[in-house]
A = this chain, B = another copy of it.
Amino acid sequence: MLRTKEQYFEKLFKMKPNVYIGGKKVTRDDPRLRPGLNVLGVTFDLAQDPKWKGIATAFSPYINEEVNRWAHLPQNPHDLLQKQKLIRLAARRVGGCIQRCMGHDAINALAICTKEIDEAKGTDYYNRFIEYLKEYQRKDLVGTCAQTDSKGDRLKRPSEQKNPNHYMHIVEERKDGIVVSGFKMSTTQAAYADELLVIPTRALKEDDKAFAVAFALPADWDGVKLITRPVWLREKDDKDAPPFCTYGVSDSVIVFDNVFVPKERVFMCGEWEFGRRLALLFADSHRHSYSGCKPAVSDILCGAAALAAEANNIEKVPHVKEKLTQYAGAAELAYAAGVAAAVYGQKTSSGVFFPDPIYSNVGRRLTGDLIYHEYNLLTEIAGGISVTLPFKEDFLSEETKKYLEEFIVRNPNLDADYSLKLWKFVENVGASPMTAWYEIAGVHGGGSPIMETIALSIEYDFETRKNLARYLAGINKDFSDDADLNKEPNDIK
């Protein structure tokens, strides 16, 4: 089924209230959550639109139906390219983060990892997960991924923490399920997701067995509390707020206080050897998703900067032209990394097609390294006006209106209304609470540059390069492996 936005909202509003904002328990129709709901709404709208059939939707071999692509498991490289394209075009429409890839990347990670655990351990998680997935696809659910634990002391492993709640853990194993406790944090979208998909955040050792746990629960399940922080734009309440201001995001600290998880929703339970694998499967899938959304963020910043340059009539100034092309570099190199990850990705034992992790990581790292710089570029081009522009009310008030309408017009070809909308947009993009959120999420979402550096440090084929150097140096007699270049590109169709 492809739900409509309205159906999604309807189900949400019926959920048990377990969202807390600013010291109060609130229902999911709280206006502060609305900007986030609007973002998710776009993911339903696109799937309803025949224009985007095959991009916003996909055919699921699990239920033999067309599903929303966010609920789909990629089967081939073409699926990954379509996902990348979908994320970019959806992210454009909501001004940045489309959020729903969280669930997409989590179901992929779980599908692959449950299969691998089963193969290694003779367990039966995969089928259990696929049953869950069918329901997820049939109902067109929105899942978020609760991965980041609160972590406590960063140099200690989970079992070494003074307070075990800093990592999600199994408190009790019962016949019919498990009881878990712990804090997950920085979980985007939790307050308006149908489902929470919970997975480990890091590599585990045998002592950390109790922390090797993965499961799914409805977001309003007993014992779950979502302490939520919405990001709030000044202009969002305007009845004629521009699109950018109608979209937004909320993040939650999720408290699990002795929560019971029914067996059929448990997808890992003590298999500590797979902690790192599951964490990385999500991370690498998510890093590939960044190759779609982050270019969209660059697109928006590029557009804002280009309009600001036009309004300042400095579009032809060489340093401005050069700066604008930096957005092209940022966006298209990241997008190219996603394309290459698809072309050189591989089929996993579960049947899910997975992007190449090297390309996913170099692409994601680039975006994390550049994000602050991209805001810097906008600031350099737009000037200081975005933090000193009078409030909108001053543009409406009798006493100041006539001055400000003159003031705001720099390029005489653009009228006051256009100019005000533009500069308010530059402010909202580059100097609002959303700015800080995008800067910081741009560094850390999906794993910070330092995490990709660690991944590359472990996974990049340095051995081939050392052998090459040994050959050229005359230490080794020959060089013939090129192990890293032996992969055939996958067929794309």
Contact = CB atoms under 8 A, between A and B. Distances in A.
A390 B166 CA distance: 16
Given A400-B227, A453-B322, A386 B485 contact: no
19 contacts: A20-B390, A21-B391, A22-B391, A153-B313, A154-B410, A155-B317, A156-B313, A231-B387, A302-B465, A303-B467, A322-B457, A332-B359, A372-B372, A372-B375, A383-B448, A386-B436, A387-B437, A431-B439, A431-B440
A418 interface: yes
A318 interface: yes
A437 B431 contact: yes
A437 to B, nearest CB: 5
Chain A facing B: main interface SS:
helix
Interface stretch (A171-179, A206-214, A263-271, A339-347): A339-347
Contacts of A307: 466, 469-470, 473
Contact of A491 (B385, B388, B397, B492): B492
Interface in A207-245: 225, 227-229, 231, 240-244
A243 to B, nearest CB: 5
Nearest to A321: B457
Interface residues of A, number: 158
A449 B329 CA distance: 11
A282 interface: no
A394 B23 contact: yes
A153 B411 contact: yes
Given A373-B372, A460-B328, A396 B490 contact: no
A444 B163 contact: no
A85 interface: yes
Contacts of A433: 431-433
A472 B440 contact: no
Interface in A417-448: 418, 421-422, 424-425, 429-433, 435-437, 439-441, 443-445, 448
Which among A25, A457, A473 has the highest number of chain B CB atoms within 10 Å?
A: A473
A166 B267 CA distance: 56
Given A333-B336, A379-B439, A394 B20 contact: yes
A337 interface: yes
B229 A89 contact: no
Interface stretch (A104-112, A250-258, A272-280): A250-258
A111 to B, nearest CB: 24
A281 to B, nearest CB: 20
Contacts of A197: none
Interface stretch (A60-68, A126-134, A362-370): A362-370
Interface stretch (A6-14, A113-121, A137-145, A474-482): A474-482
A103 to B, nearest CB: 18
Given A186-B385, A243-B472, A229 B460 contact: no
A306 B466 contact: yes
A436 B333 CA distance: 27
Contacts of A166: 410
Nearest to A241: B474
A31 interface: no
Contact of A469 (B25, B150, B300): B300
A312 to B, nearest CB: 5
Nearest to A442: B379
Contact of A479 (B93, B229, B432, B468): B93
